[in-house]
Structure 1
Amino acid sequence: MDRKDGMGLRAWWLMGVAGGLMACGDPNVVAEVGKREVSKGDVSAFIAARSARDVPTATQALDALVDRSLLADEARRAGLDKDPGVRARLRTAEREVLAQALLDQRLAAATDEAKLREGYTASREKWVRREVHVRQIMVRVPPGADEATRSRLLSRINGLYARLVGGEPFETVAREGSEDTVSAPRGGDLGPVLEGQVDEGFFTEAARLGKGERSRPFATSFGLHVLEAVEPVRTVEPTFEQVRGRLEAETRRDAQEALMKDLRERIPVTRHPDRLETGASEGQGPRS
């Protein structure tokens, strides 16, 4: 081998090494399938999309992504990426991913901790609620109960109420006769309840009672009740932590409505509903 040939072989070897380094040098690339790459971000996205009951390991996710990439590569070679139905599905996937990414970005900015606290401070009066603290005796009424069943259950709650009128302690009657499995063991004590947390009719009856007063039997959509007030009704201002969930939900809804209003005003939209039937076949996918 002369010097010229040796230099040529060395050049080819250097080019091969350089190519290998270029292909494998990106630390974010975890696999190459044909001419396409699988990145760490692909693996993370794949894992995030799985259900909480079936979370794969990173290695399992990579194996699955390689398999799907092989299938996708073969689909391109078969020309399926040119099929109108497949193209429509690809556009749908892209549209949904981009739309959700924008919503996540904008709504996260609108609902960070500092802005939520600002919103709470600016609307403190809005969160003021009445609060009651009562004991209850409840008899459940099944949905769709007939008149005979309702009459029997009404007799039952009236019998429990008669025991109270006869002088038995409310706690005793509640433990023995109430069908609310949560409050009955506590003598019927529901603890403090804010307006809006329970049935409106229930709260109205509870709010009428002074400390130690009892209601007569009354009905709600949940059943038949008798109440006794542990404390008189009072007005309370919930803490930020107590209303944070509702405040965040309302803020997200308002931010999304504002975003959509802005987009509709800035981006022209032309609809062609008359073309829906003639164009519906485009999204049917490949036919055999």
Structure 2
Amino acid sequence: MRKLAGICLIGACLALAGCEEQDVVATVADKEITKPEVQAHLAFKRVPEGNEKLRERHVDRYLEREALAEAITREDALDDEMVRAELDEFRQELLISRYFEKYLDERITDQAVRNYYGNHIDEYTHRKAHVAHLLIRTNEAMSETERKAKLTTAQEAYSKIMAGEEFDEIVRTYSEDKLSREKGGDLGWIKEGSIDPVLSERAFALEPGEVSTPFETAFGFHVIKLLDAPKDVRQPFDAVKGKIRYQLRSQAKQKELERLRNAVTVQRES
């Protein structure tokens, strides 16, 4: 073990090897370093108990840094108040962070997350319908004459569908929605209420295979077809457990923050 100025090692090997119990492991200047302090440091550094050489090196390093800190303190080169302010800031952040990490891990368990999912299953069950549409776009800058011309185009497309022409072919000819046009207007399975409310209401009111009359939304004039009947779709637990955990942890943290704030009175002097 190397010698350090101002450090007197006292039974460090005994403390590391688990032999005779000693409260003081070393003395740095006039400061006694106790066995619990060293053990806490080793635990913090996650040094395995069975590796005595590694533990001894960590103790050496710990004592050396303690000696350097003492030497620097004696140099009086730093602003003590600023150092204390920074240490106090770190202490506050560490206490708050570690406390809530432990508090939330103990309370928001895997079982708590699963229980919430089971008790709020309706939140994760949605009605979906398989819909296709034809869109003739409009915008606010259009004149009334232009808007009526767009409506006429939509009505023309609808009439051809009603006359027996295939919906997807009419979509490819008329629709101005480039993303869905090449798929025959197929929008996939849409969740009720997740799209334009007018379109959603019309879609979920149709029967499978039925085509709507032209109607207007903020996007333009639509003609829609219900490809498959609406059905209830439940999100699996694995898909939502992360969101549930985050929600429960946020709620629990806020509640505990309020409790802790009310536990201590803060009075500022005028």
TM-score by length of 2: 0.58
Structure with the greater relative contact order (CA < 8 A, sep ≥ 6): 1 or 2?
Answer: 1
Asked if residue 123 in structure 1 is aligned to residue 120 in structure 2, the reply is: yes
Shift of 1:203: 2.1
Could you tell me which amino acid in structure 1 is paired with residue 68 of structure 2? K
Tell me the secondary structure at the aligned position of residue 3 of structure 2: helix
Shift of 1:173: 2.6
Shift of 1:97: 5.9
* Map 1:130-149 → 2, pairs under 5 A: 130-141=127-138, 145-148=140-143
Could you tell me which amino acid in structure 2 is paired with residue 35 of structure 1? L
The C-alpha deviation readout for 1:252-286, integer Å capped at 9, x for no partner, is 343233323433443335579xx7xxxxxxxxxxx
> Structure 1 residues 224 and 236 mapped into 2: Cα distance closer, same or farther (>3 Å)?
same
- Is the 8 Å Cα contact of residues 210 and 233 (structure 1) preserved in structure 2? no
CA distance in 2, matches of 1:205, 1:189: 16
CA distance in 2, matches of 1:161, 1:28: 85
> Structure 1 residues 117 and 148 mapped into 2: Cα distance closer, same or farther (>3 Å)?
same
Find the counterpart in structure 1 of residue 43 from structure 2.
Answer: none
* Map 1:95-134 → 2, pairs under 5 A: 95=92, 99-134=96-131
**Count of residues in correspondence between the two structures:** 218
Match of 2:57 among 3, 6, 25: 25
Larger radius of gyration: 2
Asked if residue 173 in structure 1 is aligned to residue 173 in structure 2, the reply is: no
CA distance in 1, matches of 2:262, 2:90: 25
> Structure 1 residues 156 and 256 mapped into 2: Cα distance closer, same or farther (>3 Å)?
farther
> Structure 1 residues 243 and 166 mapped into 2: Cα distance closer, same or farther (>3 Å)?
farther
- Is the 8 Å Cα contact of residues 192 and 204 (structure 2) preserved in structure 1? no
Which runs of 5 or more structure 2 residues have no equivalent in the other structure?
A: 13-55
> Structure 1 residues 261 and 211 mapped into 2: Cα distance closer, same or farther (>3 Å)?
same
- Is the 8 Å Cα contact of residues 110 and 251 (structure 1) preserved in structure 2? no
Match of 2:68 among 12, 28, 35: 35
Shift of 1:218: 3.1
Shift of 1:102: 4.5
> Structure 1 residues 16 and 260 mapped into 2: Cα distance closer, same or farther (>3 Å)?
closer
Shift of 1:134: 1.1
TM-score by length of 1: 0.55
* Map 1:71-220 → 2, pairs under 5 A: 77=77, 79=79, 82=81, 87=85, 95=92, 99-141=96-138, 145-148=140-143, 151=147, 153-220=150-217
Could you tell me which amino acid in structure 1 is paired with residue 181 of structure 2? A
CA distance in 2, matches of 1:245, 1:175: 41
> Structure 1 residues 78 and 258 mapped into 2: Cα distance closer, same or farther (>3 Å)?
closer
- Is the 8 Å Cα contact of residues 209 and 233 (structure 1) preserved in structure 2? no
Could you tell me which amino acid in structure 2 is paired with residue 233 of structure 1? P
Superposed CA RMSD: 4.5
Find the counterpart in structure 1 of residue 23 from structure 2.
Answer: none
The C-alpha deviation readout for 1:48-67, integer Å capped at 9, x for no partner, is xxxxxxxxxxxxxxxxxxxx
> Structure 1 residues 222 and 126 mapped into 2: Cα distance closer, same or farther (>3 Å)?
same
> Structure 1 residues 243 and 192 mapped into 2: Cα distance closer, same or farther (>3 Å)?
farther
Asked if residue 231 in structure 1 is aligned to residue 264 in structure 2, the reply is: no
Could you tell me which amino acid in structure 1 is paired with residue 203 of structure 2? A
Tell me the secondary structure at the aligned position of residue 143 of structure 2: helix
